Structure 1
Amino acid sequence: MRSWALVSTRTALAGATGNAVVMGVAEVSTPLGWVLLPGLLGVSARPRVAALVSAWAAVLLAASVVVPVVPGHRADPWALGASVASLAAVPLLAWVRRRRKQRAIARVPAPRDVAVFALPAGTGRAALAVCRSPGEVAAAVPVRRDGLRVLLGVAHGATLARPEHTRALESAFRREALRRGRSLPEIAATLDDLVRGIAPGGYLAATLVAVSPDGRVTLLRHGGPDVAVLAGTEVRPAALPDAGPLGLAERAGSAAGTPADARRLAVTPALDDARSRRLAEEALRSPRAVDAVVALTGRPGGGRRTGPALVLDLPPA
């Protein structure tokens, strides 16, 4: 679904190398100085990258002992053993971190033509369905303390709808969503610039969703998909301002909070006829969010599924 690494391979290796150079020049010989930064970089990377960083840090450490151009790491057995043990533990800690994240996002059984993921969403839960229909754009990014940010949309225009360009939009959203302090309008502005750069004649009809750790939901609509809420036994459209599709809009959008009485919220492909709206109402009343999101991707008459779709189960206020 997404990359769990906070740092890239290049950044991690460069950081480990720079740390060794600084430690050598500063004549720092304690194991902590030589191991702390490479360890932090390794834990923040993928397990394979963590193993590579640990191995490279060990090579640099050994070089500082064997070829002491400037005073390097201590050569006594205790210091060397402490550093080796610490570096050996880094890939294991990175693997444990990755496993914890993977348990947070789980792919659940679904029909063959749709991929469904269960995710934490603040104090509630979410289900995301991805059908990979033409132009579909979907990305979900868990953030600190079970917060969540999601992009759902459809790219229009032959150039923008190409798979490599929809993947570029998803990657850009993930990067922006992980940046601390970035609001939904700021993320949308970055995506708007990217759309205009890739395909001046195309546009992205998208809805952005943010769930805070305390369960508060914020939405920003740029041309679609539609948003509906289940409040009590009633299913109704959510009254959200539409700032216009990304790549075409001339004004910034404004975010709107979730209605206070909503217990389920859905972002779904356009409800453009009575039959689609009736199917959506039936889907939202499904007991489980994963069943509801699968039903939302279905088309009247059993045609090809259309996505993406998101269902948020909200805790009682």
Structure 2
Amino acid sequence: MRTALAGTTGNAMLMGLAEVSTPVGWVLLPGLLGVSARPRVAALVSAWAGVLLALSVVVPVIPGHRSDPQALLASAAGLAAVPVLAWARRRTRTAALARVAAPTDVAVFTVPAGPGSAALAICGTAGEIGAAVPVRGGGLRVLLGTVTGAALDTPTGRRAIEQAFRRAAAGPRRTVPHLVGALDRVVRDLAPAGHLRATIVDVDRAGSVRAVRCGSPDLVVAAGSRAEPAGVPQGPAIGSTEPGDHAPPGPVTGRRIAVVGTGFTDAHGERWLRVLDQVAAGDDPARTAQLLTRGARGARRTGPALVIDPEPPSRR
């Protein structure tokens, strides 16, 4: 938010000094900043840009729009449209995410994943990180993991990591290494002594799955009635080593793919892979994701959990 407001202010100062009175000069940058942000931030950016426009008219020492009615009307219309466009963009993206019925101690969301579908279960357990971003064209990018460190394991710290991932994952041309780098910078800024053990999954529009492991358990694929490790190379946790030392993303194939965090393996111990045998059963990824959050021997739920069916039911 501060970056958007600073950019709007700097743009107004530059337009004023250059004596630019055309609407595009005053509205283009605030519009780009607002549309790419959340609706609330977009509304604030538009309001602040409107105040700066008014100052350029009222204060004689500030060049700018002066009192050209047509320019003022065009700028006002453009600024009013920014929050609307930001809201429409957010609504289009979140419309693909649908929350399904589940017990009160777990939230389960379904989302398209290429020609197939995926389900993300979140429990609100300590250190839990989970975010899914539908990508234009039918793709999907998911962050799933656990944070370590007092500065990271707070609602503010976890939210900052998830929001940074959503921003970085929104671009259709972003690669998995780019997402790891963006998260690495955020983790180091928030807590130099903390780190994020995470798996980042990318599903393209054709249903091909690639994943990178950063200190997290291996992905699991359904093979017959059993679950088997996918064999994705493991790299160090995000923020724990020098940037650029992370493992490359690896392809993952299977009729069903499951991803869990270190909380799952810690809770189930050496039995964690046997517990994941249930990934191969059933036809509903949402139900499977919910089952994977159940604690060992009646203990508290442990999340997050992600289940992906890369192909539609007709092809399985």
Query: TM-score higher than 0.5 here?
Result: yes
> Any conservation in 2 of the 1:219–1:257 contact (CA below 8 Å)?
yes
User: Which consecutive residues of structure 1, in runs of 5 or more, have no partner in the other structure?
Assistant: 1-8
Q: CA deviation at 1:103?
A: 0.8
Distance 1:210 1:62, change over 3 A: same
Aligned residues: 305
Specify which of 67, 71, 74 is matched with residue 79 of structure 1.
71
Q: After alignment, is 62-71 or 219-228 more displaced? A: 62-71
CA contact (8 A) 1:135 1:163 kept: no
Cα displacement string for residues 231-258 of structure 1 (whole angstroms, at most 9, x for unaligned residues): 5665432122333555667964232101
Q: Is the 8 A contact 1:30 1:74 kept in 2?
A: no
Contact 1:160 1:199 in 2 (8 A): no
Q: Give the corresponding residue for 2:128.
A: 136
1:240 aligns with 2:236: no
**Per-residue deviation at 1:68?**
4.0
Question: How far apart are the structure 1 equivalents of 2:215 and 2:31?
Answer: 45
Provide closer, same or farther for how the CA distance between residues 253 and 304 of structure 1 changes in structure 2, counting only shifts above 3 A: same
Offset of 1:91 from its aligned partner? 1.8
Superposition map of 1:36-51 within 5 A:
36-51=28-43
Q: CA, structure 1 residues 211+79, in 2 after alignment: closer, same or farther (shift >3 Å)?
A: same
- TM-score by structure 1 length? 0.78
Q: Give the aligned partner of residue 5 of structure 1.
A: none
| Equivalent-residue separation in structure 1 for 2:307 and 2:45 (angstroms) | 39
The residue number in structure 2 matching 1:62 is 54
Q: How does 1:297-308 map to 2 (within 5 A)?
A: 297-308=293-304
**2:10 match:** 18
Equivalent positions of 1:176-191 (< 5 A) are 177=169, 183-185=175-177, 187-188=179-180
The TM-score normalised by the length of structure 2 is: 0.78
**Corresponding residue for residue 295 of structure 1:** 291
Indicate which of 254, 257, 265 corresponds to 2:251. 257
Give the aligned residue type for 2:250.
A
Whole-Å separation in 1 of the counterparts to 2:80 and 2:49: 11
Correspondence 1:148-297 to 2 at 5 A: 148-155=140-147, 166=158, 169-170=161-162, 173-174=165-166, 177=169, 183-185=175-177, 187-188=179-180, 194=187, 198=191, 200=193, 204-231=196-223, 235-245=227-237, 252-259=246-253, 262-268=254-260, 269-270=264-265, 272-273=269-270, 277=273, 279-297=275-293
Give 1:118's aligned residue: 110
SS in 1 for 2:234: coil
Q: Within the alignment, does 1:310 sit opposite 2:306 as a pair?
A: yes
Q: Residues 19 and 169 (structure 1 numbering): CA distance in 2 closer, same or farther, change over 3 Å?
A: closer
Contact 1:264 1:313 in 2 (8 A): yes
Deviations 1:44-83 (A, max 9, x none): 2222222222222222223323334354226343333232
User: Which residue does 1:104 correspond to in 2?
Assistant: 96
Q: Which residue of 2 aligns with 1:3?
A: none
**Structure 1 residue 282, shift from structure 2 partner:** 2.8
Check the 8 A contact 2:214/2:246 in 1, yes or no: no
Q: What letter is aligned with 1:295? A: L
Shift of 1:295: 0.9
Q: Which segment drifts farther, 123-132 or 278-287?
A: 278-287
1:55 to 1:235, Cα distance in 2 relative to 1, 3 A? same
In 1, Cα distance between equivalents of 2:164 and 2:202: 16
Q: Cα gap change, 1:225/1:161 in structure 2, threshold over 3 Å: closer, same or farther?
A: farther
Partners of 2:71 and 2:151 in 1: CA distance: 58
Answer whether contact 1:229 1:264 (CA < 8 A) is retained.
yes
Residue 47 of structure 1 aligns with an amino acid whose one-letter code is P
Contact kept in structure 2, 1:58 and 1:84, CA below 8 Å: yes
Identity %: 54
- d(CA) in 2 for partners of 1:69, 1:159: 46
C-alpha contact (below 8 Å) 1:283/1:295 kept by paired residues: no
CA distance 1:281–1:44, change in 2 (3 Å) = same
Mind listing any 5+ residue stretches in structure 2 that lack a counterpart?
Answer: none
One-letter identity of the residue aligned with 1:290: A
